[in-house]
Structure 1
């Protein structure tokens, strides 16, 4: 049986005293939306072992398993956003921007991020799995991507409490900023525009691109999936300049690729703008409703961050019908997703 240490008690006491003033938490886990006792046990009982799967010795938790603790509020509870399976949480009926997670043993592990998985992350180089951080036999947890107390490095607040050091990212590299001081008013110097607090529908979120050659979302994701990220010409992305454009990509660039701007591969801004239902793209000018020449796709344009009902969390969005977390009612295959930005031609998009 694990015993509490002086550091354990000090950590818990520090959290109690400083949560309101210094936690830097996001929409949830902040002041009136959460209190310490909803996650932490104030007086440790010897028969209840502290969690082994939380990071950096957080103090006694109400549940031994960190995922079970998180899902007590985030799976089927009306108190908070539901992040696993069908949407039965506080935002029932919404189309969750991140989609939904799956769990080991539920039979749909290929559809997104899988809680409890010890598998090596696709595209990680060097290889990364949750066991490297959590310990042998301990699979993926919520806190491998999210910081439960908010910012881990004492810096600015991060979108959805995302860690700036997830996976192989050094501290700060994966930071994704948002307009927390002025929710509802876009700040183009921040990476994300949130229209309403405590709302997780995709319609309430859009993505800026403060640096048009670098996507903050892509930097975050690259912490575990780095080989899948880059700009045209990178060795892991490819792209050979042909006249005024690029061709022969190995992988789709995750930044530096404005729709229709590079030429080649039949990328077309007109095709994208004509869709009734569009995937999320970045814009440095904030013109998402009428896409302009700065419309740029990144990871979340094609994938739901948590996952959905499709392989790899891909968003099968044809542009027609009712939007869904899987895409829309008109989308039935990956070709629908590709057709968001790429004009049809012979041999492509049957």
Structure 2
């Protein structure tokens, strides 16, 4: 199957190229940009000697004529302008931006500060959290890939939210990401001397992933109210740690919670539940499509602590996009993603 990538010069698009390059079924037919048409190796010199593919301008009809799937890794606000033309062609679309994630266009306008796509397109888009929406993903033609923070957070919260085991008003999320989560564009706040040996909180109570997380939690349990969600920038390149605090509705112990998570995720190849007393580190999932989750009940306070880690560029973006494309086309969801994490 031929695939095309739009936005290949960013970190997410670069990871799509790297992972799809080795995929046994998906063949990279073309890569596209809104900028200059140059060899991809000029943007990514590490690809010298591996590919002579050229960045091309975006022509939806031409792309759809030669490819079966288009991955759109353009920024939010740009992707929304491309999607309508691709929908008209009938090609499968996997969108990595935030432009199709929120079902309420007014929420999108408020949080993302861009004009939303039409309601009809939002209604067609399938939210691609594969561990929890596989049946709909198998039928999707237009797929919205989840955000990186929501992926780590929702996978961590889903079992206890759906089983009504927590006070739905008690959710507090303390999330931290590496600098690649901010993209490849130049910014003073991301230069080495600003982030090295530093830890910064940002977008306090204003992060655009808040409504995405709330929307999905409320689909699972309509009692869930507004969440407290704080984001921090770590002085590392990649990875997310989402540490979640929730109040349990009755007395549970760590053993019973770990047993529940193991049972729920036992058939999900990319979610791994850590043994009691063992908590995941970002480096332990780096370069992989895995999400590792650690759990602990504080019986003194009645609170559950959930620690969920992912690689923001893979499980939080490109890897999950390929996982979804596999499911959309009836392939094993792990195909092309079976590599173990990098360590150290």
Query: Normalized against structure 1, the TM-score is what?
Result: 0.27
Asked which structure has the greater RCO (Cα within 8 Å, sep 6+), the reply is 2
Q: Which has the larger radius of gyration?
A: 1
Flag the structure with higher strand content. Answer: 2
Query: Normalized against structure 2, the TM-score is what?
Result: 0.27
